[in-house]
Every structure is written in C-alpha cells, then in structure tokens.
Copies of this chain bind each other. A is one copy, B any other.
C-alpha cells in the first residue's frame, strides 16, 4: 500500500466518510453515488433543492499555530469555519472535500487528534467526507470545500436587506477574539476554571456554527439578508450593507459582548481588553448576522437559541454604517476586522 493510500485509509476510518456509494442524511437530500475511492465524487440531486458550494483555507502560521492550538481544535475548526458559510445562507451542510498538505515529520498523535476534532465537527454539522487530496508541505495546509442544500429559491443572500429591517446577531460577539487573546498570553489554563472565559476559549477553539438557526430562518422565510461574522462586525456589517445598497445604524448598548468577569479582570488587566472593541473588531465568532423586515420580528420567538438573539440596530437608506455610542451619539464605524492581507 502506498503512503498516500495509507493516509487516505486513516482519514476515512477516523472521519464520517462516504466510501463508495452511501446515502447522505435527510430524507430528500442528495445521494452520494460515489464517495472516496474514485477520481471524483458523484452526487445525484433529488427533490427541488438548490446547492450551495463554498471553500475555506486553514493554514498553519496564518490561521493557527501548531505550538498554541491543540490538534483537535485545528481539525474541528477547519471544518466548522468552512461550513459556517453554508449556515450563513440558511443551507443544510451535506458533504465535504478535504485538501490536506502535511509535513513529513508530523507525528501520528497529532494526526489522530486532528481527525478526532474533525470527526466531532462532522457529526455536529451533519456532513460526510466524500473526497479530497493529500500531499506533503513544510507547514500544515488545509482547504475544505463544503456542499450544502437549501429548498430551491430559498438560500439567503447578503443583498436582500431593506431600509427599516431590523439587524440581529445570533449571540455574544468578540468571544472568539477574547479566547485567542487568552490563549496567546498564556491564560488558557486559568481561563478554563471560569465559565465565561471558558466559553470564550471554546468559541475560539471549537466555534459553534449556527446551522440549525440558519435553516430555521430559511424555512420560515423570516430573513431578508444574512452572513456569518467571520471577520468581525465592523467588517462584515458593511459588506452586508454594500451588497444590499443600504446603510446601517447600530447601537453599541445593544450589542451582546463577551463577558469578562470582574474577578478575572485583575489578571487580564495587562491585556486592556475592551468588550465593545472585541465585539466590533474581533474575528471568527461565526455568529449569524441577519436582517428581518419589521413585520417578521415577532415570528423570531420560536427560533432555535432565541434568548441569545439580539436586535442591534436597523438598516438605513443612507449608505453609511453608523455606531451609536453610550452617550447616544452616532459616528461612522471604522472597519477594523480581521483581514489576512492587511499589513
């Protein structure tokens, strides 16, 4: 058996996979006629659905550090963040392809943990591995393509927001950035003993993807536009506004921020962490940001995770993104979210 075949064998045993033909979950979902093991995967559409395709890179040294991030977090997060784009359209994720480039010297334990994390994500997200490519590389390089499905005509774009629509965020913002800061500065161990800090750490290492909420919003036809917060509210909200040809006015007092317990604040004082700044500019929360026409707002009550949903502002006709501060003054919101290309 070749070395590459051995790696593929290891992956398919570790991660939920469609080897050969296997039915994907969901009664009206597509059928995988061929999974791993041929030149490519074959998928047969069934029912009146549309398909959603996205890919996402996850690189050592850019998106994670091998010294800092546990291998199971790397495996989990690589798949979770790629799948978040499917959730952001209200789709149900079905299948994924994995491009994996690995250093020769990577030890078996790291790989086991990596695949265990990926397996956990695949189960939580309801996806199966149907193909991929493996090769070697001096650094770990991961690219994941996810195929999702939505009822035909229902996938939600960024471009459908109208003036007057209410802007919602699906949970506390800035937690993932806080988690990264804790990890980076060596506070991970003590953070695990505190509920709020543990939540922040977990949101950075094992982000929860809002698949259920996204699909629910689409089924009920409640939202006009949606995206996932990957680069921070101050970067992603302007994207939604630009796509919709509109502006927004959000209220800093209504943005749900990460909790930094007073007890922990002493320890963390040196970091000078401002919850609002983290919420505006912190990346990788993968919460959903969506807009709802006012008459639909009451229907949100039945949404999965409804108590966490926060109405943070409104779409405006004027094509500016304004932040209302604690004194009630509206000012333009500068985009300071995460951009790997910014110097």
Binding site for B on A (CB under 8 A): 2-4, 7, 33-34, 37-45, 49-57, 59, 61-63, 85-86, 88-89, 91, 95, 97-99, 101, 104, 130-139, 141, 143, 145, 147-148, 150, 152, 155, 157-159, 227-228, 235, 243, 335, 339-343
Q: Cβ of A339: which chain B residues have Cβ within 8 Å of it?
A: 2-4
Q: Cβ of A34: which chain B residues have Cβ within 8 Å of it?
A: 155, 157
A25 to B243, CA, bound (A): 26
Q: Cβ of A33: which chain B residues have Cβ within 8 Å of it?
A: 50, 155
Known: A38-B159, A51-B43, A243-B37. A133 touches B97 (CB 8 A): no
A148 to B104, CA, bound (A): 33
A223 to chain B, nearest CB (A): 13
Residue in A135, A139, A150, A243 with the greatest tally of chain B CB atoms within 10 Å: A135
Q: Cβ of A99: which chain B residues have Cβ within 8 Å of it?
A: 55-57, 99, 143
A102 to chain B, nearest CB (A): 9
A29 to chain B, nearest CB (A): 13
Given A40-B53, A99-B143, A138-B139, 6 other A-B residues pairs in contact with their CB atoms under 8 A: A40-B148, A53-B131, A55-B143, A61-B138, A62-B135, A136-B341
Cross-chain contact A53 with B147 (CB below 8 angstroms) = yes
A239 to chain B, nearest CB (A): 9
A-B contact pairs, 28 of them (CB 8 A): A2-B335, A2-B341, A3-B342, A4-B340, A7-B341, A33-B50, A38-B157, A38-B158, A38-B243, A39-B158, A40-B54, A42-B51, A42-B53, A42-B89, A44-B152, A45-B45, A45-B49, A55-B55, A55-B99, A57-B133, A57-B134, A57-B143, A59-B141, A61-B137, A62-B136, A62-B137, A63-B135, A101-B141
Q: Cβ of A95: which chain B residues have Cβ within 8 Å of it?
A: 53
A77 to chain B, nearest CB (A): 14
Q: Cβ of A7: which chain B residues have Cβ within 8 Å of it?
A: 341
A33 to chain B, nearest CB (A): 6
Q: Cβ of A88: which chain B residues have Cβ within 8 Å of it?
A: 39-40
Cross-chain contact B145 with A55 (CB below 8 angstroms) = yes
Cross-chain contact A43 with B53 (CB below 8 angstroms) = yes
Cross-chain contact A85 with B39 (CB below 8 angstroms) = yes
**A-B CB proximity, top 8 nearest:** A3-B341, A40-B54, A143-B143, A39-B88, A99-B143, A39-B85, A145-B145, A45-B45
Q: Cβ of A52: which chain B residues have Cβ within 8 Å of it?
A: 40-43
A120 to B268, CA, bound (A): 54
A25 to chain B, nearest CB (A): 17
CB closest chain-B residue, reference A41: B53
